[in-house]
Amino acid sequence: MAEDAEISPVQEFIINAVFDYTVVVDNYMAFVTGVWNTVTLVALSLLIGGLISVPLAVLRAERHPIFSPMIWCYTYFLRGTPLLIQTFLIYYGLGQFEVVRDSFAWPILREAWWCALIAFSLNSAAYTTEIFRGAIEATPYGEIEAAKAAGMSRLTMLRRIILPSAFRRALPAYSNEVIFMLHGSVVASTVTVIDILGAGRFVNGKYYIYLEGFLTAAMLYMILVYMISRGFKLWEHHWHAHLRPRSTPEPAE
Q: What are 224-241's pLDDT values in tens digits? A: 999 999 999 988 876 666
Confidence (pLDDT) at 31: 95
Local structure of 249: helix, strand or coil: coil
Q: What's the rounded Cα separation, in Å, for the pair 135 and 168?
A: 9
**Closest alpha carbon to 41 in 157, 188, 166, 222:** 188
Contact 204, 20 (CB under 8 A): no
- The mean pLDDT value for 131-157 works out to 87
- The mean pLDDT value for 157-172 works out to 89
- Give the mean pLDDT of the chain: 87
- The mean pLDDT value for 169-189 works out to 93
pTM of the model: 0.85
Confidence (pLDDT) at 174: 94
Name the pLDDT band for 150 (thresholds 50, 70, 90): confident
CB-facing half-sphere around the CA of 237: CA atoms within 13 A: 6
Local structure of 59: helix, strand or coil: helix
pLDDT at 250 over 80: no
pLDDT at 252 over 60: no
pLDDT at 179 over 90: yes
Confidence (pLDDT) at 144: 85
Confidence (pLDDT) at 143: 82
* Amino acid identity for residue 228 in this structure: I
Output the DSSP codes for 102-155: TSTTHHHHTSHHHHHHHHHHHHHHHHHHHHHHHHHHTS-HHHHHHHHHTT--HH
Local structure of 211: helix, strand or coil: coil
The listed CATH number (3.40.50.11540, 1.10.3720.10, 1.10.10.10, 3.40.50.300) that belongs to domain 21-237: 1.10.3720.10
C-alpha pair distances (Å), 63 with each of 70, 126, 132, 188: 11, 17, 14, 35
Q: What's the rounded Cα separation, in Å, for the pair 223 and 214?
A: 14
Please report, for the chain, the start and end positions of each structural domain, with discontinuous segments joined by +.
Answer: 21-237
pLDDT at 11 over 60: no
**Closest alpha carbon to 117 in 43, 57, 60, 59:** 43
Contact 91, 112 (CB under 8 A): yes
Name the pLDDT band for 122 (thresholds 50, 70, 90): very high
Confidence (pLDDT) at 135: 92
Instruction: For residue 103, report the phi and psi dihedrals to the nearest 5 degrees.
Output: -85, 170
Residue 133 CB contacts under 8 Å (≥ 6 apart), including other chains: 56, 57, 60, 61
pLDDT at 1 over 50: no
